[in-house]
Structure 1
């Protein structure tokens, strides 16, 4: 009888420890949101993620504590953030952008803490998923794979005489390397040549931009976090030379890119938040859900930028636009 009572006590203690993971004394679940850089698209991911959780019953400051961290596009800081969230025993880590997802998973897998990522272009190349799309471990999320062919088709429609497209990218971001490869594979189909310039730090961007602008007819942005964080500098330099810059999502068009065939990062975040809710509810483990690719690209254009460049945006693109802008957002 004593042995049975002892066994029951052990089981109850083990269960309380398990169910208490990620919770504080107030009974709220604690999660971490780790964002690699601060710019519009990633901010939208974060807000959408919280909205997706709320739709599934997890509301911040009601039954959810959220620890926010931002690495400011620094790999070392990303690693420190990941370690800190693991030490705080977060029930789940939401990792926004590829470098953050890689760092978070590297730290969290040691403690079997699930990581739900968003804004990861190529989860397989980032080693967050296996070749067949299944999770590499307790890690899953959503991919913001660029609609490269749609972007090339759009650029050709707007710039019928253009021949060379310039792309700045960070050599440390595997998502950018994957996108560059696809651009090179498909550019010739639309009569373009891709001229890329790799940078290793934000400080490299001004000189790299100047060099690239002298070789191309336009620039197009990836979802490269280091480059996007310095987009105002790039836009300023390109504007002085009258060279159009194309974005990869809505926020880039708001601040001065001519146009984009891009994704809605808020909706991407919502989808990711709902995936995270399944894990928090215990309906599914992260290791049981394949990553999802968000494919709903739309046209966004900026008529103010077009007028300054002396460009007329094609009527068919304008009429099909998800949103048009007539000014530059500061």
Structure 2
């Protein structure tokens, strides 16, 4: 995906319209002396689940910390694709048609569609919760943007997760992963797991799905072959996590999460990142772009490198698993209930 340059011929009427404040970025003032930029952004979220919701919340907090606040000098339009690919593309097209100052794309499929839709108009796209921006063709191998697009990555701490699973389940042999074959972030994470599982004495069993309707049967099949399941940040799978947890609990098989929200709703534990903080980091990047300090094309993507341990002691009790004291003592947060 190369950035394209296009020539725009502006008529006198267009120039007058822009001068009158009809562009997406406006000026406002109560007395004509203190003018303040008004920004219009679109937030394109691929699915409805806790980690992506936290990214959105953190993104707005990050903007506000940089002096760009919704309702004051910022207008925000939020649209959720509910994990539907066609809807996702329509959202991107609508934001481009509305000539947003910036599009915030939450999750890999949204980042890809937003950038594809926006590149001809050179509208900046700032993404978050993209596990592998290089595999998603949003950055080159050195981490630099491929166009007017940048953001933050929720790269999974796979090795830390494997260490934690081995410590909690010393006799386990096979780990299962359910993933969406069309999600670049999931394919990349699977490759990382495949390269590391041998070092921790595991074999890996994977099951790919293409749509939500396949998850129930795929879960049933996977549960016959594994000692535990570890979850990715796969958007389609995470959106159906309650179904997976119900089936796994019936068989007494632990499910490990990839972030805090999955642990809250019934995963046993996770070595994961704080998605509120990831969103804040993304908001600060967006603020630089909106203020004209840098272009998206000049900012390499960023990551949060330090994971935290999260555990649900109620799930451990239900499964008859004892949490090792060193892990329990290191927990960023532990939960003694299962959220609905």
Aligned twin of 2:107: 97
1:101-139 CA distance string (max 9 Å, x none): 000000000100000000000101100011221101000
Rounded to whole Å, the distance in 2 between the matches of 1:21 and 1:125 is 35
Choose which of 16, 25, 29 in structure 1 pairs with 2:39: 29
Rounded to whole Å, the distance in 2 between the matches of 1:67 and 1:143 is 23
- How far the C-alpha of 1:15 sits from its partner, in A, is 11
Contact map agreement 1:21 1:90 (CA 8 A) in 2: no
Contact map agreement 2:124 2:149 (CA 8 A) in 1: yes
Whether 2:54 is the aligned partner of 1:41: answer: no
Rounded to whole Å, the distance in 2 between the matches of 1:120 and 1:151 is 18
Whether 2:321 is the aligned partner of 1:319: answer: no
- How far the C-alpha of 1:24 sits from its partner, in A, is 5.9
Whether 2:278 is the aligned partner of 1:276: answer: no
- How far the C-alpha of 1:306 sits from its partner, in A, is 0.3
Choose which of 231, 239, 243 in structure 2 pairs with 1:233: 243
1:158-169 mapped onto 2 (5 Å cutoff): 158-169=168-179
Aligned twin of 1:246: 256
Aligned twin of 1:126: 136
Contact map agreement 2:21 2:27 (CA 8 A) in 1: no
SS in 1 for 2:145: coil
Choose which of 275, 287, 306 in structure 2 pairs with 1:265: 275
Larger proportion of helix: 1
Aligned twin of 2:232: 222
Aligned twin of 2:265: 255
CA spacing shift, 1:286–1:143, aligned 2, 3 Å = same
TM-score (norm 1): 0.94
Gapped regions of structure 2 (runs ≥ 5): 1-11, 29-36
Aligned twin of 2:84: 74
Once superposed, what is the RMSD of the aligned Cα atoms? 1.8
Aligned twin of 1:199: 209
1:271-297 CA distance string (max 9 Å, x none): 000000000000000000000121120
CA spacing shift, 1:278–1:20, aligned 2, 3 Å = farther
Contact map agreement 1:22 1:92 (CA 8 A) in 2: no
CA spacing shift, 1:180–1:19, aligned 2, 3 Å = farther
- How far the C-alpha of 1:327 sits from its partner, in A, is 0.5
Aligned twin of 1:52: 62
Gapped regions of structure 1 (runs ≥ 5): 1-9
Rounded to whole Å, the distance in 2 between the matches of 1:281 and 1:188 is 48
1:133-173 CA distance string (max 9 Å, x none): 11010000000000000000000000000000000000010
SS in 1 for 2:306: coil
Rounded to whole Å, the distance in 2 between the matches of 1:203 and 1:314 is 37
TM-score (norm 2): 0.91
Aligned twin of 1:4: none
Aligned twin of 1:138: 148
Contact map agreement 1:120 1:144 (CA 8 A) in 2: yes
Rounded to whole Å, the distance in 1 between the matches of 2:310 and 2:170 is 19
